[in-house]
Chains A and B, each alone.
Chain A
Amino acid sequence: MAKSSPRRELTSQHPHRRHQGIGTKPPKVENVWSTLARIWTYIRTEKKLFLFVLIIVVISSVLSLLGPYLLGVAVDKIIADPITETLLQMVGLLLAVYFLHSVTSWLQNYWMIGISQNTVFSMRNHLFSHIQRLPLLFFQKRQHGELMSRLTNDMDNVSRTLNSAVIQFTTSILTIMGTIAIMIWLSPLLTLLTMTTVPVMYFGMKWITKRTGRYFKDQQKHLGEMNGYVEEIFSGHQIIKMYSQEKRVIDDFSKKNESLRNASYWAQTYSGFIPKLMNMLNNASFAIIVGAGGILALNGLISIGVIVTFTTYSRQFTRPLNDLANQYNMILSAVAGAERVFQIIDEAEENENDKDTEDIEQIKGDIVFDSVYFSYEDDQPILKNINFHAAKGETIALVGPTGAGKTTIISLLSRFYENDEGHIYIDGKDIKTITRESLRRQMGVVLQDSMLFHTTIRENIRYGRLDATDEEVEKVARAAHADDFIKRLPDGYDTILDSDGKGISHGQRQLLSIARAMLADPALLILDEATSSIDTVTEMKISAALQTLMQGCTSFVIAHRLNTIRNADQILVVSEGDIIEQGNHRELLKKKGFYADLVYTQTSEQYILKKC
Chain B
Amino acid sequence: MKKVFSYLRSYKLSVSIALSLMVLELIVELVQPLLMAKIIDDGILQDDLSIIAVWGSVLLGLSLIAFAAGITNSFFAAHASQGVGHDLRRDLFHKVQEFTVKHFQTFSTPGLVTRMTNDVTQVQGLLFMLMRIALRAPLFIVGGIIMAFLVHPGLATYLLLSVPVLLLFLFWILTRGVVLFRNVQERHDRVNTVIRENLSGIRLIKGFNRGEYEERRFKKENQSLADQNKKALWMMEVAMPVVMLGMNIVIILILWIGAVQLNLQEAQAGELVAIINYATRILFTFSVFTFLIMNFSRGSASAARIASVLYEKTGPQHFENLSLQPIKGGVRFENVSYRYGDQSGEILKNLSFSTEENKTVGILGETGSGKTTLLNLITKLLEKSSGHIFIDGTEIDEIDDKYLRKQMSVVPQEAHLFSGSVKENIEWGKDEATTEEVIRAAKDAQIHDFIISLPDGYDTRLGQKGITFSGGQKQRLSIARALVRKPKILILDDSTSALDAHTEARLLQTLKEQACTVFIVAQKISSFREADQILLLHQGQLIGSGSHESLLQTSRYYQSVYKSQMEEDVI
Contacts and interface: CB of A to CB of B under 8 A. Distances in A.
A419 interface: no
Nearest to A488: B345
Contacts of A266: 78
B302 interface: no
B395 interface: no
B132 interface: yes
B498 A402 contact: yes
Interface in A590-611: 597-607, 609-610
Nearest to A224: B117
Contacts of B32: 283, 286
Interface string A324-349: 00000000000000000000000000
Contact of B402 (A117, A244, A276, A607): A244
B353 interface: no
Contacts of A432: none
A385 interface: no
A295 B79 CA distance: 44
Given A272-B78, A273-B71, A308-B276, A463 B249 contact: no
B394 interface: no
A110 B39 contact: no
B405 A243 contact: yes
A129 B217 CA distance: 11
Interface string B113-141: 10011000100100010001100000000
A416 B207 CA distance: 9
Interface string A456-478: 00000001101000000000000
Interface string A502-526: 1111111011000000001000001
Interface stretch (B172-180, B227-235, B293-301): B227-235
Interface in B234-258: 234, 237-238, 240-242, 244-245, 248-249, 251-252, 255-256, 258
A280 B566 contact: no
A231 B416 CA distance: 12
A99 to B, nearest CB: 6
Nearest to B367: A507
Contacts of B40: 290, 294, 304, 307
A431 B365 CA distance: 43
Contacts of B152: none
A24 interface: no
A539 B561 CA distance: 10
Interface in B199-234: 199-215, 218-219, 222-223, 225-226, 229-230, 233-234
A234 B365 contact: no
Interface stretch (A174-182, A422-430, A529-537): A529-537
A290 B39 contact: yes
Contacts of A36: none
Interface stretch (B320-328, B437-445, B464-472): B464-472
A236 interface: yes
Q: Chain A interface: which size bin? A: 35 or more
Given A132-B215, A508-B367, A234 B193 contact: no
B245 A102 contact: yes
B428 A239 contact: yes
B185 to A, nearest CB: 11
Interface string A275-315: 11101100110111011101101100000100110011001
| Most chain B CB neighbours (cut-off 10 Å) among A2, A294, A312, A466 | A294
Contacts of B67: 276-277, 279-280, 283
B396 interface: no
B260 interface: yes
A102 B81 CA distance: 37
B94 A235 contact: no
A60 B108 CA distance: 49
| Most chain B CB neighbours (cut-off 10 Å) among A139, A241, A466, A526 | A241
A460 to B, nearest CB: 11
Contact of A447 (B198, B203, B406, B570): B203
A118 B39 contact: no
B90 interface: yes
Given A12-B468, A294-B44, A447 B255 contact: no
Contacts of A239: 410, 412, 416, 428, 478
A544 to B, nearest CB: 11
B36 interface: yes
Given A228-B464, A600-B571, A117 B262 contact: no
A132 B248 contact: no
B381 interface: yes
Interface stretch (A46-54, A373-381, A387-395, A435-443): A435-443
A257 interface: yes
A121 B222 contact: yes
Contacts of A113: 229-230, 233-234, 237
A276 B498 contact: no
A606 B567 contact: yes
A490 interface: yes
A276 B203 contact: no
Given A241-B381, A440-B207, A498-B108, A453 B201 contact: yes
A284 B60 contact: yes
A29 interface: no
B248 A98 contact: yes
B36 A605 contact: no
A82 B263 contact: yes
A267 B334 CA distance: 60
B197 interface: yes
B6 interface: no
B57 interface: yes
Given A132-B211, A243-B405, A440-B206, A230 B116 contact: yes
Contact of B500 (A258, A401, A603): A401
B542 to A, nearest CB: 16
Interface stretch (A184-192, A247-255, A364-372): A247-255
| Most chain A CB neighbours (cut-off 10 Å) among B211, B237, B367, B566 | B367
Interface in A105-122: 105-106, 109-110, 113-114, 117-118, 120-121
A249 B97 contact: yes
A78 B263 CA distance: 9
Given A95-B249, A125-B219, A606 B566 contact: yes
Contacts of A308: 273, 276-277
Interface string A90-108: 0100110011011101100
B208 A128 contact: no
A3 B454 CA distance: 7
Interface string B9-47: 000000000000000010011001001100110011101
A87 interface: yes
A133 to B, nearest CB: 7
A486 to B, nearest CB: 10
A118 B481 CA distance: 54
Contact of B81 (A151, A268, A402): A268
A234 B379 contact: no
B101 A238 contact: yes
A507 B117 contact: no
Given A79-B262, A440-B206, A603-B526, 20 more contacts: A78-B262, A91-B252, A125-B219, A227-B116, A265-B78, A270-B74, A272-B73, A272-B74, A276-B67, A279-B70, A308-B273, A308-B276, A414-B206, A464-B208, A505-B368, A533-B497, A535-B364, A536-B564, A603-B570, A604-B570
4 nearest CB pairs, A to B: A291-B56, A283-B63, A507-B367, A276-B70
11 contacts: A125-B222, A132-B214, A239-B410, A245-B428, A283-B29, A294-B39, A453-B201, A504-B368, A526-B207, A586-B569, A603-B566
